[in-house]
Structure 1
Amino acid sequence: MTDETTLKILDAAMMHVPFDGWSETTFRAAAADAGVDPVVARALLPRGAVDLALAYHRRGDDLMAERLGQTDMSAMKFRDKVATAVRLRLEVVEDREVVRRGTTLFALPMHAADGARAIWGTADRIWTELGDTSDDINWYTKRATLSGVYSSTVLYWLGDDSLDGQATWDFLDRRIGDVMKIEEVKAQVRDNAVLSKVFAGPAWLLSKVKAPGAMSRSDLPGRWTTPGQSPR
């Protein structure tokens, strides 16, 4: 949840980002327009425009989750639920140029890790909102594949000038279709007796990987369990 003062600065920044990007110029102008003391603004957003851009991304995730909760998906297949969530995430964007400027910012080597974490956070938020309860290697593979789908769809969407963005939604459907093919291959491997024996070792190893939990250290991506030991 983003605090109200940060949201005020963020709202004020929207008129500056299309012209000056997510820059120090934008950050200072937004703080001034919002009537926020520069010292307070810097305390809330130590890295200035970078943290402001990340706050913008998180707000988009919040808006997506809100709309997702208002959407009746009871009759949808799961792949359609995922596609709907990604589509809603893009539809909450009011100015495509703001996202384009953010893509440029996080393409820079020094900010690439922040951009990757933001995309991973969106994928995690989507799976969480859809009720994902996986606690093994699937927790990672679901988010990794969706991160790839989401990031490629955003790049396509930025250059899409088709009517109502239909080309983007078709592109999204194809990308999710590709992911479903991977899942089909995994199922075939599990059902094939010979292949199951071949991959028994790697499968056992992967079964020991656990998703992050509330009690896990925040700087570790997962947990390793040993026989007789509870995940933590």
Structure 2
Amino acid sequence: MTVPDLKETLLQAALPHVAFDGWSEATFQAAVADAGVTIGAARAVCPRGAVDLALAYHAQGDAAMVGRLQAEDLSELRFRDRIASAVRFRLEAAEDKEAVRRGTVLFALPQYAVDGARAIWGTADLIWTTLGDSSDDVNWYTKRATLSAVYGATVLFWLGDDSQGSEATWAFLDRRIDDVMQFEKAKAGVRDNKVLSRLLSGPLAMLDRIKPPAAAREDMPGRWSGRR
């Protein structure tokens, strides 16, 4: 059995236990027993136990979202509606709401907060990348940061939403996307305003030198260009 297959087997075995025990060591041990694998093999693919399974569950939802984005024809939609559709697809890919709820509890813990933030950032990055974002400056970061905030807030709203077809969640999402569009409009207005752009010419020039991570060095947080 390959590493991805083994992790998927453990994940599927863990999900029935998550509702009762969360993404915990008890859930991991139960998954190992139910999957019929050795604890050594399970630890080899999931050194942190259920934490790694929770991240695998999140990655599984991201993959489903990307697949749907690539299959759907969104060409007639405004770009803000494509973003909203992507977030909606991502939430609809999470078939087990309790597993997501338990995940938010896990990643709210200080020792796992970085993992949770990285997972949400990764979702935002996948959305922008799949939709064809070609930003090569500081906008690469601001787009993902604002979308991460929108996605995180929408997930929390969705977890408490009992409206028919999650209609309240989709209305909430539309409002948050509108907020982002207003921010982007204001940001563009600063550059278009001759007085403000002149006053902020120094900071804007510095920001223009910030580049997204180089494809060859994805472990690095970003790049700095000395050229204007």
* Partners of 2:38 and 2:95 in 1: CA distance: 27
Residue 209 of structure 1 aligns to which amino acid in structure 2?
I
Q: Is this contact kept in 2: 1:123–1:143, CA < 8 A?
A: yes
Q: TM-score normalised to the size of structure 2?
A: 0.96
SS in 1 for 2:134: coil
Q: 1:217 to 1:74 in 2, by over 3 A?
A: closer
- Please say if 1:54 is aligned against 2:55: yes
1:223 aligns with 2:209: no
Q: 2: CA distance between counterparts of 1:165 and 1:203?
A: 41
User: Unaligned 5+ residue runs, structure 2?
Assistant: none
Shift of 1:189: 1.2
The amino acid that maps onto 2:190 is V
Listed as ranges, the gaps of 5+ residues in structure 1 are none
Shift of 1:199: 1.1
Distance 1:38 1:85, change over 3 A: same
> Which residue number in structure 2 is paired with residue 197 of structure 1?
198
Alpha-carbon distance in structure 2 between the residues aligned to 1:108 and 1:140: 25
Q: For residues 20 and 64 of structure 1, do their structure 2 counterparts lie closer, same or farther at Cα, with a shift above 3 Å needed?
A: same
Letter of the 1:146 counterpart: L
What residue number does 1:125 align with?
126
Map of 1:63-102 to 2, 5 A cutoff?
Answer: 63-102=64-103
Identity between Structure 1 and Structure 2 (%): 62
Is the aligned partner of 1:9 residue 2:10? Answer: yes
The answer on whether the counterparts of 1:216 and 1:223 sit within 8 Å (CA) in structure 2 is: no
> Match of 1:165, as an amino acid?
S
Matches within 5 A, 1:76-225: 76-216=77-217, 218=219, 220-225=220-225
Q: Distance in 1 between matches of 2:36 and 2:30?
A: 10
CA distance in structure 2 between the partners assigned to 1:158 and 1:17 by the alignment = 16
Asked if the contact 2:209/2:227 (under 8 Å) is kept, the reply is no
Instruction: Tell me how many residue pairs correspond in the alignment.
Output: 226
Contact map agreement 2:138 2:207 (CA 8 A) in 1: yes
Q: Residue deviations 1:136-170, cap 9 Å, x none?
A: 11110010000000000000000001111000000
> For residues 48 and 86 of structure 1, what CA distance do their matches in structure 2 show?
28
Q: Name the counterpart of 2:46.
A: 45
